[in-house]
Homo-oligomer: A and B are copies of this chain.
Amino acid sequence: MTQRFSNLSRRQFLGGLASSALVVGAGGLFMPALGQDNLLDFRLGADPLLLHFNENSLGMSPMAIKAVQDVAVNAANRYPDNFVADLRETLGKRHGVPTEQVILGNGSTEVIQAIVTVAARMGAKVIEPDPTFGDVRRYAKAEGMQVIAVPVGGDFVTDIAALRAAAEATGGPLLINICNPNNPTGTIVDSTALFNWIDAAPDDHIFLLDEAYVDYAEQNPAFKSGLALVQAGRENVVVTRTFSKVYGMAGMRIGYGLAAPKTAKSVRRFSANFNLSATGSAAALASLKDEAYREASVASNARGRATLLETLDGLGLMHIESNTNFVLHRINSDVKPYQDRMMANGVRVGRRMTADEGWNRISIGTPDEMVEFTRVLRAFRERGWV
> Does A50 sit within 8 A of B, measured CB to CB?
yes
Q: Which of A171-179, A277-285, A329-337 faces chain B?
A: A277-285
Q: Which of A45-102 contact B (CB under 8 A)?
A: 50, 53, 55-60, 64-65, 68-69, 71-81, 85
Task: Determine if B277 and A77 form an interchain contact, defined as CB atoms under 8 angstroms apart.
Answer: no
Closest CB in chain B relative to A119 CB, distance in Å: 14
Task: Determine if B107 and A251 form an interchain contact, defined as CB atoms under 8 angstroms apart.
Answer: no
Contacts of A369 in B (CB 8 A): none
Q: Which of A92-117 contact B (CB under 8 A)?
A: 105-107, 109-110, 113, 117
- Other-chain residue from B113, B117, B283 in contact with A76 (beta carbon distance below 8 A): B283
Task: Determine if A272 and B106 form an interchain contact, defined as CB atoms under 8 angstroms apart.
Answer: yes
Closest CB in chain B relative to A304 CB, distance in Å: 14
> Does A224 sit within 8 A of B, measured CB to CB?
no
> Does A1 sit within 8 A of B, measured CB to CB?
no
- Other-chain residue from B56, B252, B272 in contact with A113 (beta carbon distance below 8 A): B272
**Of listed A57, A58, A77, A244, residue having the most chain B CB within 10 A:** A77
> Does A218 sit within 8 A of B, measured CB to CB?
no
Residue tally, chain A, CB below 8 Å to B: 58
> Does A205 sit within 8 A of B, measured CB to CB?
no
> Does A274 sit within 8 A of B, measured CB to CB?
yes
- Other-chain residue from B72, B252, B280 in contact with A69 (beta carbon distance below 8 A): B72
Q: How far is the CA of A256 from the CA of B79 in the complex (A)?
A: 17
Q: How far is the CA of A69 from the CA of B135 in the complex (A)?
A: 30
> Does A142 sit within 8 A of B, measured CB to CB?
yes
**Closest residue of B by beta carbon distance from A9:** B273
Contacts of A113 in B (CB 8 A): 272-273
Task: Determine if B279 and A107 form an interchain contact, defined as CB atoms under 8 angstroms apart.
Answer: no
For this complex, 9 residue pairs linking A to B, each with C-beta atoms less than 8 Å apart, are A55-B79, A60-B76, A68-B71, A72-B279, A75-B251, A76-B252, A80-B250, A105-B272, A253-B277
Q: How far is the CA of A142 from the CA of B272 in the complex (A)?
A: 11
- Other-chain residue from B55, B68, B85 in contact with A68 (beta carbon distance below 8 A): B68
**Contact mask for chain A residues 226-253; partner B; CB cutoff 8 A; 1 contact, 0 none:** 0000000000000000001000111111
Contacts of A272 in B (CB 8 A): 105-107, 109-110, 113, 272
- Other-chain residue from B53, B78, B253, B278 in contact with A53 (beta carbon distance below 8 A): B78
> Does A351 sit within 8 A of B, measured CB to CB?
no
> Does A305 sit within 8 A of B, measured CB to CB?
no
Q: How far is the CA of A385 from the CA of B257 in the complex (A)?
A: 47
Task: Determine if A10 and B68 form an interchain contact, defined as CB atoms under 8 angstroms apart.
Answer: no
> Does A275 sit within 8 A of B, measured CB to CB?
yes
- Other-chain residue from B72, B73, B79, B279 in contact with A277 (beta carbon distance below 8 A): B279
A107-B274, A279-B252 given; A77·B65 CB < 8 A: no
Q: How far is the CA of A248 from the CA of B79 in the complex (A)?
A: 10
Task: Determine if B58 and A77 form an interchain contact, defined as CB atoms under 8 angstroms apart.
Answer: yes
Contacts of A74 in B (CB 8 A): 59
> Does A289 sit within 8 A of B, measured CB to CB?
no
**Of listed A64, A106, A109, A244, residue having the most chain B CB within 10 A:** A106
Contacts of A273 in B (CB 8 A): 9-11, 107, 109, 113, 135, 138
Task: Determine if A275 and B110 form an interchain contact, defined as CB atoms under 8 angstroms apart.
Answer: yes
* Further pairs besides A59-B77, A60-B76, A68-B69: 5, Cβ < 8 Å: A68-B279, A72-B283, A79-B244, A251-B279, A252-B279
Closest CB in chain B relative to A84 CB, distance in Å: 10
